């Protein structure tokens, strides 16, 4: 697979990678770079059709077409049966709050329990905890010492009082994957709904809402090689039933009832182009006669395989400096994670590691990763946290080897003190 994945050809499609050299983007969990076709789509919108939708003139109709095309492409990316289930907006956090406020209005005393996790980004925790004043109660599904959520630990927490299970598809901090289909099956057995934070999953593996059988999902473009924007997907009957805010002249049906106000059309154009990028990659890898969804499947399968190679290489590097790796750390288990790693180097402060790495032209991150409960679970102080290196498919083995040399120097400098 090392020889088969065209990483050099992939990198050539991302102008920022060459422009920044020798700087290395290892902070992709905070936002990935954009391929040229996405930049072109955004520029085209702003230069040629930067008008409001819904008009009777050609440029406005072109905006309508781009938005409709974007829904169809995102639906294919998600394997959603109906493009009207895709709702565009500002970001995933806003959509989680919109959804929590709507679901909060349907809480009943006999079904008022929400299952939350200590692995998630706080956006998928605090938004639900805010429903306490509306009668919500909370049950905690806790990760194990291996940094993973195990479905067998969820089962005893579920009952006829469970209204919703909210969890991530993959940890934005530890890179740990979750068995989504099993979670949804367990939730549905007791009549509960299942909400999925898919923001960090999008660039790494194939999304399939039909196979997963989740009820709602949020995602953001900025990690998946698109501009800053977000979208909510939900099963149509679920979205129809949601008591959401809308202006009187807005149709009371999805996606319109969900999309309050004007969103950023040029970023929707960019999101559609990002899916074009996945399609083109799939076709470059041999999916010539397949549908859009088929080409996406080919691309994501190759990305997944390449990223497992990157994960093994980075785990070897971290083992070579005796790093404490939080989460899945056995190279034989890389199928349980994506190449997002939180770690610490002995007593070296995470901020110092990041500063020294910056001097060596690596962009990585330190801190609490917006996950206070996860930091508590790991025994890490919020004002210190850990170091995170997060890779995507345009990263290379050579970059990882350089990173290893940098970490060796940081460790050696610490020992000399």
Domains of the chain plus CATH, in order, are 7-33+305-415 (3.90.1150.10), 40-275 (3.40.640.10)
The answer to whether 157 touches 173, Cβ cutoff 8 Å, is: no
The average confidence (pLDDT) of the chain is: 96
Specify the long-range contacts of residues 348-356, CB closer than 8 Å, at least 24 apart: 348/410, 348/411, 348/414, 349/384, 350/384, 350/385, 350/386, 350/387, 351/384, 352/410, 353/387, 353/407, 353/410, 354/387, 356/406, 356/409, 356/410, 356/413
pLDDT > 80? residue 416: no
Stretch 97-107: mean pLDDT: 96
CA atoms of 199 and 341, how far apart (whole Å): 16
Task: Return the HEC string of the chain.
Answer: CCCCCCHHHHHHCCHHHHHHCCCEECEHHHCCCCCHHHHHHHHHHHHHCCCCCCCCCHHHHHHHHHHHHHHHHHHHHHCCCCHHHEEEECCHHHHHHHHHHHHHCCCECCECEEEEECCCCCHHHHHHHHHHHHCCEEEEECCCCCCCCCHHHHHHHCCCCEEEEEEECECCCCCEECCHHHHHHHHHHCCCEEEEECCCCCCCCCCCHHHHCCCEEEEECCCCCCCCCEEEEECHHHHHHCCCCCCCCCCCCCCCCCCCCCCCHHHHHHHHHHHHHHHHHHHHCCCCCCCHHHHHHHHHHHHHHHHHHHHHHHHHHHHHCCCEEECCCCHHHHHHECCEEEEECCCCCHHHHHHHHHHCCEECEEECCCCHHHHHHHCCCCCCCEEEEECCCCCCHHHHHHHHHHHHHHHHHHHCC
19's CB contacts (< 8 A; 6+ apart) are none
Measured distance CA(130)–CA(126) in Å, rounded: 6
pTM for the whole thing?
0.96
> What is the distance of C-alpha 337 from the center of its chain?
13
Taking only the tens place, the pLDDT of each residue in 172-188 is 999 999 999 999 999 99
Residue 119 contacts residue 369 (beta carbons within 8 Å): no
- Lowest average pLDDT, out of 27-36, 199-208, 259-268, 310-319, goes to 259-268
Lowest model confidence (mean pLDDT) among 166-170, 180-184, 203-207, 413-417: 413-417
Pairing of strands 113-117, 137-141: parallel
Q: Give pLDDT tens digits for 277-291.
A: 999 999 999 988 889
pLDDT, one tens digit per residue, over 71-85 is: 999 999 999 999 999
Q: Output the pLDDT for position 260.
A: 83
Mean pLDDT of 93-118: 96
Q: How would residue 2 be classed by pLDDT, with cut points 50, 70 and 90?
A: very low
For position 1, what pLDDT does the model report?
A: 43
């Amino acid at each position: 697979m090392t020889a088969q994945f065209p990483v050099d050809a992939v990198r050539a499609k991302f102008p920022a990678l060459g422009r920044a050299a020798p700087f290395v983007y290892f902070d992709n969990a905070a936002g990935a770079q954009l391929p040229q076709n996405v930049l072109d789509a955004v520029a085209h919108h702003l230069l040629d059709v930067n008008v409001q939708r819904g008009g009777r003139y050609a440029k406005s109709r072109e905006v309508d077409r781009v938005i409709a095309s974007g829904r169809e492409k995102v639906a294919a990316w998600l394997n959603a049966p109906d493009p009207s289930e895709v709702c565009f907006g500002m970001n995933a956090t806003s959509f989680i709050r919109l959804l929590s406020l709507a679901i909060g209005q349907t809480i009943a005393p006999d079904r008022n329990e929400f299952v939350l996790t200590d692995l998630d980004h706080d956006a998928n925790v605090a938004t639900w905890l805010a429903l306490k004043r509306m009668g919500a109660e909370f049950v905690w599904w806790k990760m194990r010492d291996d940094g993973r959520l195990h479905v067998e630990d969820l089962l005893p927490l579920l009952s006829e009082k469970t209204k919703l299970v909210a969890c991530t598809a993959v940890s934005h901090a530890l890179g740990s994957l979750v068995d989504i289909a099993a979670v949804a099956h367990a939730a549905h057995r007791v009549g509960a709904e299942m909400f999925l934070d898919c923001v960090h999953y999008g660039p790494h593996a194939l999304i399939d809402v039909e196979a997963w059988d989740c009820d709602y999902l949020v995602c953001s473009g900025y990690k998946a090689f698109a501009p800053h924007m977000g979208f909510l997907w939900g099963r149509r009957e679920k979205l129809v039933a949601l008591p959401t805010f809308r202006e009187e002249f807005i149709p009371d049906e999805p996606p319109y009832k969900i999309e309050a106000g004007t969103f950023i059309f040029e970023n929707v154009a960019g999101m559609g182009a990002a899916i074009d990028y996945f399609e083109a990659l799939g076709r470059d890898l041999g999916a010539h006669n397949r549908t859009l969804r088929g080409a996406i499947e080919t691309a994501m399968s190759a990305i997944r395989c390449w990223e497992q190679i990157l994960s093994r290489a980075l785990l070897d590097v971290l083992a070579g400096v005796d790093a404490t790796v939080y989460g899945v750390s056995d190279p034989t288990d890389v199928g349980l994670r994506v190449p997002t790693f939180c770690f610490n180097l002995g007593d070296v402060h995470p901020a110092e590691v990041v500063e020294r790495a910056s001097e060596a032209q690596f962009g990585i991150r330190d801190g609490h990763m917006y996950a206070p409960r996860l930091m508590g679970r790991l025994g890490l102080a919020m004002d210190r946290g850990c170091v995170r290196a997060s890779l995507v498919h345009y990263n290379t083995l050579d970059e990882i080897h350089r990173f290893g040399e940098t970490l060796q120097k940081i460790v050696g400098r610490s020992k000399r003190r």
